[in-house]
Amino acid sequence: MNARASARSRRSLAEVVHSREMIVVCGSGGTGKTTVSAALGVLAATTSSARVLVLTVDPARRLATALGLGGGELAGQAPVKVEREVFTALGVECPGELWVAMLDTKAGWDELVRRHAPSDDVARRLLANPLYTNITGRFVNSHDYIAMEQLHALHESGEYDLVVIDTPPSRRALDLLDAPARMREFFGGRLITWLTIPSRSRLAAAAAKPFTAVADRVLGSRFLADIAEFFTLFGTMEEGFVERALAVEALLADERTGFVVVTTSEPSPSREARHLVVELGRRSLGLGAVVMNRTLPDGLRGRAATEVAASLRSPDEAAALAAVLAPLIEPGSVDRAGLEESLAHVLVETGERVGELQVAAAREAECRRMLEQVAPVVIPLPALRGDASGLASLVALAKSLA
Amino acid sequence: MNGPATRPLDRSLLFVTGKGGTGKTTIAAAAALLAAGEGRRVLLVEMDAKGSLSEALDTAPLEFAPRQVDLPPAFRSAGGELHVMSMNTEDSLREYLRVIAKVPLVGRIGPLARTFDFVADAAPGVKEILAVGKVCHEVRQRAYDLVIVDSEASGHVVAQLDAPRAIRGLVQVGPIREQTEWMLEILGDQQRTGLLVVTTPEEMPVTESIELVGRVRSATDVLVAGVVANRVLPRWFAGADADVFAALAATHLPAPPAVPRGLEAVVAAAAGVEARRVSGAEQLDHLRAALPGLPVTVVPELYPRAGGRRVAALVAEHLADEWEAS
């Protein structure tokens, strides 16, 4: 492969999308993970014959509507297909199929319990336990684990060529990678051991006394007993859960899985993205690309643009340019009287504001360089003019990503 | 300090939350600078321990023990103080055991500390109550005039604010249940406690903010004191100038050298930003319409050259102007 071809392939997210079977989209909150996930799905379905599923979490309503999720009521339901005609209506070919589903943590847990409980009775008692809903709903990493678990289940089903998963908003994006390991540790951990001790060994129970004494004092013994019962039931599923968590971990490390890290061009999310990229490498997980979302327009930083903006800020030069431009402006759209003067004023203002944008663009370039030091592919995704929530704008984003 | 014009700062406990990426940490830091600049003794608490608060204040990583930080020169004259700390539920548990439950074995907490994470994972609301309990404890001790909490992002904050009630529902007896009573009293006191929701003028954050306000109002007794719309693009062109700019942006410019090279890129960039401003203004209208009566404070996009404390100070000045005017 010559240098030029290599440089081109390094720039292509389409290649990532077409070469992987699973794509995990991660990054800090508010960077646009859901939108980028949807756009990646659109990219894959419109540029290949792949059957693609985008598994998303809690998307904003208009995005959900654009994707045919009907305002979010379909949580936990079967995947919905975005009909080909919807793309055709936008003048876009869609040789593949785009399916969308929404992550439902509660349903995911219920399914796990039913699958791994040693008997129907245990499953029934667990699902009916008053602590169960609370714990599965609030469990730190509970969303993260279920997201990874669903990815595994969907891949195993063999129904899709590509599954794109939009990850839940974590406190730290890294939690996601650690979720399967934490699930394993949880079962091997002291808590379960201690809480289930009374049924195992009286002698060991004595060793746990300081712990239970404190827990008693803090939580009250009845609450502790409730928890103990819950975990005794939960503990019966250890084998199945641990085996499954290992399989999920293995899938994340599989070369068919690619991670796409989403960031904005601001320092704080960029630093977190960089950290995430480094951690992915440390864990030998496959980084597909970094997407820098909502960047400023490319042309801003060129020398010509910088010079023009500077000259516009000079009232004389703005007036001279206004004289050139005024006759070009569509007649009828504005009031001709005083147009030239008003145009000069608008040009000065434009020069000033674009100057501010150019400063922001320079800072943005700095963040991009920082990421390029650790990631081979950093793809800028310029901000759309409005909100990125209709299918048309997803198609536009998919084009920028390709 | 009374009447409808009460500012979000005019209380003793203020939670600041918002969707990730909206700048809630910057707003919390700015509000703290503003209050300290007025001569108050302020404690600023970072809840999610991501380290962004220490970045926003250009200070060393925060710890559980509050540390006083220097105020920028413009905020010193009134003699206020700013103290910062980072929430850590394990330290909070130690403190709770020592100070409130008076458990004597704090020195030998080893096995407990090792399993603490698992306990906290397992028992719903334990982490949350230790965090919110510490904050309420500081309010009750009255060592500070104002406690500002850079809270969890909007997805987690309701669980936190609701923790005392959830715990009260789950734990039938015991010291924790008793503790929840005074916490609920502080949280539900609308004179003392408020929640500020930070958003940006974009669809998803605005939708999430509207939903969050609904959930806070239905699930907790905490008063939503206001919304801060952060990073709002300023209006570039007023009146007739807006039409002239729109006409210019729609005009097909001739190739250079008839016009300077780069002009097209500059006009296109400006048009892109103007379009985003218009859509942002629509989102703000939607926000105001969906939350009638709730004050919306606008903080403009600053495109700052600097980061950290400089930004927090600039935002604090804007908050001062906005809240003064209202």
Cis peptide before B257 (omega within 30 of 0): yes
d(CA A22, CA A152): 9
Q: Is B218 exposed, middle or buried (0-12, 13-18, 19+ CB in 10 A)?
A: exposed
Give the model's pLDDT for residue A184.
73
Confidence category of residue B81, pLDDT binned at 50, 70, 90: very high
Give Cα B18 distance to the centre of its chain.
Answer: 7
Do the beta carbons of residue B25 and residue B57 sit within 8 Å?
A: no
Query: Quick one: average pLDDT of B211-216?
Result: 94
Q: Does A31 touch chain B (CB under 8 A)?
A: yes
Residue A132 token pair? 């169960």
B300 CA to chain A: closest CA distance, Å?
13
* Whether residue B103 has pLDDT greater than 70: no
Using a cut of 0.80, tell me whether the model's pTM lies above it: yes
Q: Please name the member of B96, B126, B272 whose beta carbon is closest to the beta carbon of A297.
A: B272
pLDDT tens digits, residue range B275-294? 889 999 999 999 999 999 99
Q: Tokens 């401003």 — which residue?
A: B277
Residue B130 three-state SS: helix
Partners of residue A330 in chain B, C-beta under 8 Å:
247, 250-251
* Whether residue B201 has pLDDT greater than 80: yes
* Whether residue B129 has pLDDT greater than 80: yes
Question: With an 8 Å Cβ cutoff, are A307 and B262 in contact?
Answer: yes
Apex B153 CA angle, B132 and B67, nearest 5 = 55
Give the model's pLDDT for residue A1.
36
* Whether residue B270 has pLDDT greater than 70: yes
Closest by alpha carbon to B40, among B1, B72, B78, B68?
B78
User: Which residue type is seen at A292?
Assistant: M
Q: Does B118 touch chain A (CB under 8 A)?
A: yes
* Whether residue A72 has pLDDT greater than 60: no
Residues linked to residue A257 through DSSP beta bridges, in sequence order:
A22
pLDDT tens digits, residue range B182-197? 999 999 999 999 999 9
Q: Is A199 exposed, middle or buried (0-12, 13-18, 19+ CB in 10 A)?
A: exposed
Do the beta carbons of residue A340 and residue A334 sit within 8 Å?
A: no
Residue B326 token pair? 């209202």
Of B271 and A63, the structure prediction assigns the larger pLDDT to B271
Q: Please name the member of B103, B236, B247 whose beta carbon is closest to the beta carbon of A214.
A: B103
* Complex-level ipTM: 0.78
Q: Does A402 touch chain B (CB under 8 A)?
A: no
Q: Tokens 């599954």 — which residue?
A: A163
Q: Does B125 touch chain A (CB under 8 A)?
A: yes
Q: Is A314 exposed, middle or buried (0-12, 13-18, 19+ CB in 10 A)?
A: middle
Query: Quick one: average pLDDT of A106-111?
Result: 83
Q: Tokens 């939960």 — which residue?
A: A234
Partners of residue B156 in chain A, C-beta under 8 Å:
171
Percent of chain B with pLDDT over 70: 87
Closest by alpha carbon to B38, among B8, B12, B5, B77?
B77
Partners of residue A137 in chain B, C-beta under 8 Å:
124
Residue-by-residue DSSP string for B12-72: SEEEEEESTTS-HHHHHHHHHHHHHHTT-EEEEEESS--SHHHHHTT-SPP-SS-EEEPPP
Give the model's pLDDT for residue A212.
59
B48 CA to chain A: closest CA distance, Å?
7
Question: With an 8 Å Cβ cutoff, are B250 and A30 in contact?
Answer: no
Query: Quick one: average pLDDT of A101-107?
Result: 81
Give the model's pLDDT for residue B66.
96
For A266, nearest residue in chain B (alpha carbons): B21
Do the beta carbons of residue B164 and residue B183 sit within 8 Å?
A: yes
- Which among A31, A62, A214, A227 is the top mutation candidate for probing chain B, defined by the most B β-carbons within 10 Å of its own β-carbon? A214
d(CA A145, CA A130): 21
Question: With an 8 Å Cβ cutoff, are B303 and A186 in contact?
Answer: no
Question: With an 8 Å Cβ cutoff, are A219 and B171 in contact?
Answer: yes
pLDDT tens digits, residue range B217-242? 999 999 999 999 999 998 888 888 88
Give the model's pLDDT for residue B3.
42
Q: Does A337 touch chain B (CB under 8 A)?
A: no
Give Cα A328 distance to the centre of its chain.
Answer: 45
Contacts of B128 (CB under 8 A, 6+ apart): B159, B160, B162, B163, B166
CA distances from A341 to A338, A345, B44 (A): 5, 6, 51
B273 CA to chain A: closest CA distance, Å?
7
Give the model's pLDDT for residue B173.
66
The size of the A-B interface in CB pairs under 8 A is 243
- Which among A33, A265, A268 is the top mutation candidate for probing chain B, defined by the most B β-carbons within 10 Å of its own β-carbon? A268
Q: Does B39 touch chain A (CB under 8 A)?
A: no
Q: Is A400 exposed, middle or buried (0-12, 13-18, 19+ CB in 10 A)?
A: middle
Residue A270 token pair? 């960029």
Apex B236 CA angle, B231 and B237, nearest 5 = 150
Of B259 and B105, the structure prediction assigns the larger pLDDT to B259
For A271, nearest residue in chain B (alpha carbons): B52
Give the model's pLDDT for residue A354.
92
Query: Quick one: average pLDDT of A363-374?
Result: 92
Q: Which regions of A19-96 does DSSP assign to beta strands (E)?
A: 22-26, 51-56, 80-82
